[in-house]
Amino acid sequence: MKKSPKETQLQEMEALAEQLGVEIRVEVLRSLHPRKGGLCKVQGRFVLLIDKKSTTDERWFLFIEGLCLFDLEDRFVSPKLRALLADRREELLARGKRLPE
C-alpha cells in the first residue's frame, strides 16, 4: 500500500527531529484544551508530545509546528517540506512565537 504524502513527510520529520535532538513522546494526553500535543522543553531537552489518539493529520501538524522554528539551514530537508516549514515559521514569528526556553 502506497503512503500518502503526509505519511511520507511525517517519516521525514521524525528523522529530522532525531537529527535535531528532539525527543518524540507518543502518550495518552489528558487536557482541557483540544490540542493533541506540542513542543516543550523538559530538563533542558526539547520534547515533542503527541497524543496517542491523534490522527495522521494532527501528528503532521504537530511536527510542522514543532520543527519549523529550528534553524534548518545546515540540514537536508526535501524542498516541499522545507517550503511548508518556512511558511509556518513566518506565520509563527509574525505572532511572536519562539522556541520554548
pLDDT in tens, 44-91: 999 999 999 999 999 999 999 999 999 999 999 999 999 999 999 999
pTM of the shown model: 0.91
How many angstroms separate the CA atoms of 96 and 26, rounded? 27
Give all domains of the chain, ordered by start, each with its CATH number. Answer: 5-94 (3.30.2010)
Strands 45-51 and 23-27, sheet pairing? parallel
pLDDT in tens, 5-15: 999 999 999 99
Of 54, 76, 32, nearest to 65 by C-alpha is 54
CB neighbours of 29 closer than 8 A, spacing ≥ 6? 36, 37, 49, 51, 52
